[in-house]
Amino acid sequence: MKDVLVIGGNRYFGKRLIALLQESGHRVTILNRGSSGAPEGIEHLVADRDDEAALESVLAGRSFDVVVDQVCYTPRQAEIARRVFAARTRRYVMTSTVEVYEYEDSAVPVTEDVLDLGTVTVDTGGAWDDPEFREAHYGEGKRQAEAVFAAAVPPFAWTSVRVAHVLGGADDFTGRLDHYARRVRAGEPIAVPTVNRPATYVYVEEIAAFLAWAVDAEFTGPVNAHSHGPLTTAEICAEIEKRVGGRTVFQEVEVGEVSPFSFARSYAMDNSRAVGLGYPFSHSSTWLADAVAETIDEVTA
């Protein structure tokens, strides 16, 4: 049994992670701003993770075997976390994203070392407190946050789980599959780039299971997390057609906004490191139909 602190992220795959940790017998504590509570039997700490003094106060006298940070979006948040938890945890697991590779365009799936964190410029003076700025710089914020942990002196025992695009669940709050379902049902055009690249995905249940597995592991540094089998926009829409009827109509555009799961550049991830560490990812073909059904059926209910 381990003492595990989960910062934020108690919805979607975060709530599944918390349930898995509890089922595994770990002693789980949740820390958030108090906007949502904690499941029965789980301790709840309330503090704003951007307020270093508040964090120090609520964590006074506390330490944890592992901290899972589900809501670290900026280098400023990473610096606060590094200072506050340096002497309070043996290992730090940061939930990151495939979008750290936003500047890549690779003919082959990218491995973790394609991104050299030592070359990333960290700018804690940016407008990171502005929600619109943070959203517009989501991938960059995660890149810089990882770079903060990587540059820690003395070394900080951390790992960043670079999560692929997540599909599935009746509680998918992103609206991305609904974007396609509404257009497929009505036969309305779906904007895609002229050259539309496949991408890597992960089932909501699988990424929760991977994070729970990572809590019990000992590796450090970045790790790509996704199911085998990249998916194209066409494959996702074909599965939606089976569920809702209608017809997929792609409209190629050279400029302007494209639909959520269409990509002009190629930055599919390579999960060889995670597999080598012992995690047996599934293939997307085994869960895509269920993922679409769970989300679409809930939206159309």
Give the count of beta carbons closer than 10 Å to the beta carbon of residue 71: 17
Q: Which residue has the tokens 């906007």?
A: 35
Q: φ, ψ for residue 222 (rounded to 5)?
A: -70, 150
Residue 292: C-alpha distances to residues 90, 150, 258, 259, 284 (Å): 38, 37, 20, 16, 12
Contact in structure between 22 and 6 (CB atoms under 8 Å) = no
Q: How far from the centroid of its chain's Cα atoms is residue 249's Cα?
A: 29
The distance from CA 135 to its chain's CA centroid, rounded to whole angstroms, is 14
CA separation for the pair 299, 301 (Å, rounded): 6
Residue position matching structure tokens 């599935």: 168
| CA-closest candidate to residue 217, choices 16, 17, 66 | 66
- Residue 89 is classified by DSSP as E
DSSP state of 255: S
Q: Report the pLDDT value the prediction gives residue 298, as an integer from 0 to 100.
A: 56
Long-range contacts of 170-175 (CB under 8 A, 24+ apart): 170/294, 170/295, 170/297, 170/298, 171/11, 171/12, 171/298, 172/12, 172/204, 172/294, 172/295, 172/298, 173/11, 173/12, 174/260
- Which pLDDT does position 40 carry in this prediction? 81
How confident is the prediction along the chain (301 residues), in pLDDT tens digits per residue? 899 999 997 889 999 999 999 999 999 999 998 877 778 888 999 999 999 999 999 999 999 999 999 999 999 999 999 999 999 999 999 999 999 999 999 989 999 999 999 999 999 998 999 999 999 999 999 999 999 999 988 888 999 999 999 999 999 989 999 999 999 999 999 999 999 999 999 999 999 999 999 999 999 999 999 999 999 999 999 999 999 999 999 999 988 889 999 999 999 999 999 999 999 999 999 999 999 999 998 544 4
- Residue pair 209/274 in contact by the 8 Å Cβ criterion: no
Write the DSSP string, 104-147.
---SSPBPGGGS-GGGPPP-TTSSTTSHHHHHHTHHHHHHHHHH
For the entire predicted model, the pTM comes to 0.95
Residue 249's φ and ψ, nearest 5 degrees, are: -125, 110
Question: What are the E-state strand segments in the chain?
Answer: 3-7, 27-32, 43-46, 64-69, 89-97, 158-163, 165-167, 189-193, 201-203, 221-225, 249-253
Q: Provide the 8-state DSSP code for 266.
A: -
Residue 257 backbone zone (phi > 0: left; psi -120 to 50: alpha; other: beta): beta
**So what's the pLDDT on residue 301?**
45
